[in-house]
Amino acid sequence: MSLSIGQAADRSGCTPPTIRYYESIGLLPPPPRSDAGRRTYGPNDVARLAFIRRARDFGLGIPQVRDLLAAAEAPATACVTARPVVEEHIRALRAKRSELKALESALAAILVRCDEGCRSGSPGVCAIFDDFHLPGAAST
């Protein structure tokens, strides 16, 4: 079965520009060309593209996807090679979650002070601009 880039895109969930990008950075091998010079893709290409898209959906970066694809090339050690990639990504996600929770708490506290300033009716610097350190901005 020979598919055009548009058909491969539809079946894999990637866009044609993304497919060309993955080819340019080596995540997808260069496909054969038709007599008209157009790229043609087979089922293995579509499966590889779907794998890449799914890994990207999980937030894995290009280097991590590259590592997973390399691991898949050696089935006997694939799990041993792939597991640390996913474990590291989980650690990064947990660190990011902690960072986002801290940011959320800080912003919520700023909003409370902003609301208190607005309710008091006294002119002053809005807590948002005060905490973001914008001098002379937005007096309430």
d(CA 112, CA 115): 5
Percent of the chain with pLDDT strictly greater than 70? 94
Q: Evaluate if residue 123 carries a pLDDT over 70.
A: no
Burial class (CB in 10 A: 0-12, 13-18, 19+), 65: buried
What pLDDT score does 138 carry?
53
Q: What total number of domains does the chain contain?
A: 1
Mean per-residue pLDDT, 36-42? 95
Q: Is residue 137 assigned to a domain? A: no
Q: Evaluate if residue 137 carries a pLDDT over 70.
A: no
Q: Which CATH number does the domain housing residue 22 bear?
A: 1.10.1660.10
Q: Evaluate if residue 136 carries a pLDDT over 80.
A: no
Q: Is residue 36 assigned to a domain? A: yes
The string of DSSP codes covering 105-117 is HHHHHHHHHHHHH
What pLDDT score does 140 carry?
45
Q: Evaluate if residue 122 carries a pLDDT over 90.
A: no
Query: Which residue blocks in 43-77 are alpha helix, DSSP H?
Result: 43-57, 62-72
Range of the domain at 28: 1-57
Q: Is residue 134 assigned to a domain? A: no
Q: Is residue 132 assigned to a domain? A: no
